[in-house]
Structure 1
């Protein structure tokens, strides 16, 4: 049996999670008093809410999806930022998996995701038999939300460390799957078995989330204290995740149906934003169509670590201006506005990424931060999934054009190749959102742009092996 060794020796217990998951003890050293405290914590709906809040706090931190595991690591793999041999992240961008920087970042991705999976399982393990603690449909909502989040984290681990699915490699073992909080390491499973389990999980999550108040158009005050369901893993975020996972397995018919359910409600519940420059100034992340986004009040930390123009050139994450012009050829594109991309204010850098830069407003004597949202899953992705999965090529282009027109660019040309246009739209739509490498990997693209070149047409050759990030060294030693 292949086992996972290191992670489950250092996973935070639920009682640590309740204090914002900042203090980790030995996972296997569960003392009686710890178990008592844990049981006390889950004796009320508020205790479950606090535990789930702790998961979101960790998820939105710089070390996870509120920073380097969303904006940096997968984006560097996907050739988003210009990197030379003297750049801090050159080994990652050059797909040199043997270098320490790449190994360390991959290990952080693995360890942090599995820690949160354990914490989510801890919540799930305590929910059965406690429905009486919750008001109305809140029990079903939290159960579905936690299950969907666990699915999301497992699937991202598979997207990083697993295979290009449409190859024979799909029957080989890649990562463990944890359906409960286990004191023992679980076996590594083949990708096809993992995706089978995850599809079962998301189907179950969606059944629970039929109680989600977001389906009614707004969250009620009694909704477990969650007035903003868009900042949580709600029903429609779970449905989009289902579509994403089905397309990963090349189940286009299933992906199409799941995506259409989101598309049907998108204009009402998740309207596109950024139709004019003023809107983009207030919301450079274009959160309007986000099915779920993370609230990260410490977003300036991520910005300062990765994108602020005062960083040394070797540490700054930004593409070459010439490459940016190729990605966004139409100046009216909402995603190319000065609130998102512009030269450094002191003239020291040709172009910088301001999507996550802090924006402050004044209300009387109170100064507050406007942009704290980090996009996690967008409705626009469902349009792109539908465009790829629709069996009718003419209808497929219509789905693609909804996104283009919403972002203030012209519809697709009549003689355009759908795959080419889809790739262009993925490059435009998800900058800094960790999706591009996964897109190239899913379609098993033979090339990716070369972010280390000064040429706008340079590429690097890819194959199914190069798309697989090796598991951490400590895990390899265990099996």
Structure 2
């Protein structure tokens, strides 16, 4: 856990193969790309810690949580369990970067092995993954733009090598992220989700189907919107978010697909710009969101503070009543895996989805950009509310826009890891649910592994 960056290259999932034969065929490149996504699904990354686990705890989303997270909840990052968890995140994300870099290092010399548009799509996804992973490393370990864009942060690693890359400033890392995303989009202009080309199971065994579980063209546009908002470039953030919205590729969940508790689209999957396919998500949901003492849960009173209407689809359909510790606790349902209603199987398109980018976020980005450019914030906020079964906001309701945005965002993405990043991006002095001085204590910047600070020229991100 305390290894230096050289060891990022040594930790590989079972699907990864060191032999260069992996990169001698198109199927090998497909497997290598799948390997990067596979790393991301692990519990020490987006399969738990960077969604409902550590990041959910740091954002004070849970009233009940496993005892292993007591120190995390109090922001005692120096304690053993948080330190091990944080180091695993650092090493895991850079391991995924290393695997993406290895693919990118090999792909141009093997262009002839690809059929159709697979070269462009695979290279585009690998570039986007490198950007996605670095941006989250920055959001975890670097300062925010709101704090100091010139503060030294993390290295941006662009080669598969044991050599140590230099630290870069927050501004430099964001620039590199946007550079990779721009390059990615040029390749992903051949993505079927963008071109509109129909793909069937008979086309390359359906390889280019199910684009929402890949960093597709519009997911990259959505990520661009997120990054531009981070650097307060409101014009570009609004433009990118609008392109995603206006594409019409992502549909709001229908209430009719939520009412049958045995057949419900619990994660609102039609709205995912990008989600991971976590094949063991059902067992994780059963382990971490069920009726026992050591699970993540929210009190009924907290939820009622989140959702002003009991008719809100999220309140109605994404939580279940607790048993065991207290029947006043409510457990998140969005990751439960259902069996169907006895005559019809639960739709495959709903299964195993861990959302990392949502359609609703694009509307929140648009609203925030309009707020800072004297535009109409209500239309964007109310579009989401309309599709959640709650009444529209009026002008008088958005006088304190920052508080309204936080409220709207919090109830939308609970258990998805984004709330902590929202607090950090705005450098808010308080996280709801704790009295900690989050700015004074440096809560928003996780400590880098001690071994990394021994690299020549590196300085503490704190």
Which ranges of structure 2 fall in alignment gaps of 5 or more residues?
none
Q: CA deviation at 1:164?
A: 2.1
**Once the two structures are superposed, what CA deviation does each residue of 1:74-98 show, in whole Å capped at 9, x if it has no partner?**
11111111258x9331211111111
Distance, in Å, in 1 between the alignment partners of 2:352 and 2:253 is 16
- How far the C-alpha of 1:379 sits from its partner, in A, is 1.3
Tell me the residue number matched to 1:20. Answer: 15
On the 8 A contact 2:6/2:164 being kept in 1, the answer is yes
- CA deviation digits over 1:125-178, x for unaligned, max 9? 00113222112222111111111011101000100101021233x222221111
1:242–1:255: 8 Å Cα contact kept in structure 2?
yes
Matched, 1:43 2:24: yes
> Where does 1:199-238 land on structure 2 (aligned, <5 Å)?
199-217=178-196, 220-221=199-200, 222=203, 225-238=207-220
- List structure 1 runs of 4+ shifted beyond 6 angstroms: 362-369
- Equivalent residue pairs, number: 444
State the 1:347 CA deviation: 7.7
Q: 2:299 aligns with which of 306, 317, 320?
A: 320
1:461 aligns with 2:437: yes
Distance change in 2, residues 1:10/1:447 (3 Å): closer
TM-score scaled by length of structure 2: 0.89
Partner of 1:72: 53
When the two chains are superposed, the root-mean-square deviation of aligned CA atoms in Å is 2.5
SS at 2:298 equivalent: coil
**Equivalent of residue 247 in structure 1, options 218, 229, 253:** 229
For residues 114-134 of structure 1, give each alpha carbon's deviation from its aligned partner in whole angstroms, at most 9, with x where no partner exists: 000000101000011322211
In structure 1, the partner of 2:43 is 62
SS of equivalent to 2:431? strand
Deviation at 1:274, TM superposition (A): 4.0
Asked if 1:342 corresponds to 2:340, the answer is no
Work out the CA distance in 2 between the residues paired with 1:383 and 1:151. 22
What is the deviation of 1:328? 1.0
Structure 2 residue 140 is matched with structure 1 residue 163: no
- 1:31 aligns with none
> What residue in structure 2 maps to residue 419 of structure 1?
402
The structure-2 alpha-carbon separation of the partners of 1:427 and 1:175, relative to structure 1 and needing over 3 Å to count, comes to same
The reply to whether residue 272 of structure 1 matches residue 252 of structure 2 is yes
Question: What's 2:76 paired with?
Answer: 96
Whether the 8 Å CA contact 1:295–1:372 is kept in 2: the answer is yes
2:377 to 389, 393, 396: 396
**Are 2:331 and 1:333 equivalent residues in the alignment?**
no
Residue aligned with 1:445, SS: coil
Corresponding position of 2:244? 262
Cα distance in 2 for residues equivalent to 1:78 and 1:442 = 13
Deviations 1:325-370 (A, max 9, x none): 1001211111112x42121256844222222122113777989985
Q: Does the 8 A contact of 2:138 with 2:154 survive in 1?
A: yes
Matches within 5 A, 1:358-369: 358-361=337-340
**SS of structure 1 residue aligned to 2:396:** coil
* 403 and 126 in structure 1: CA distance in 2 versus 1, 3 angstrom threshold: same
Q: 1:137 aligns with which of 117, 121, 146?
A: 117
Shift of 1:426: 0.9
Contact 2:241–2:366 (CA<8 Å) still a contact in 1?
Answer: yes
Unpaired runs of 5+ residues, structure 1, are 24-33, 452-458
Q: Offset of 1:414 from its aligned partner?
A: 2.0
Find the counterpart in structure 1 of residue 63 from structure 2.
82
Q: Deviations for 1:371-397, whole angstroms, at most 9, x for unmatched residues?
A: 311111011111100100025545222
* Residues 318 and 345 (structure 1), Cα distance of their counterparts in 2 relative to 1, 3 Å cut: closer
2:339 touches 2:345 (CA, 8 Å); kept in 1?
no
CA contact (8 A) 1:20 1:55 kept: no
Q: Does 1:472 align with 2:449?
A: yes
For 1:183-229, what per-residue CA distance to the aligned partner results, in whole angstroms no more than 9, with x for missing partners? 21111111111111111111111111111001134652446713111
Residues 217 and 269 in structure 1, CA contact (< 8 A), matched pair in contact too = no
Q: 1:404 to 1:218 in 2, by over 3 A?
A: farther
Matched residues in 1 for 2:352 and 2:100: separation?
Answer: 24
Alignment counterpart, residue 354 of structure 1, candidates 308, 333, 337: 333
Alpha carbons of 1:354 and 1:190: their partners in 2 closer, same or farther (altered >3 Å)? same
C-alpha contact 2:192 2:208 (8 A) present in aligned 1: no
What is the match of residue 6 of structure 2?
8
Counterpart Cα distance in 1 of 2:54 and 2:197: 35
On the 8 A contact 1:270/1:290 being kept in 2, the answer is yes
CA distance in 1, matches of 2:260, 2:238: 31
Give the deviation of 1:413 after TM superposition: 2.4
1:247, 1:385 within 8 Å by CA — same for their partners in 2?
yes
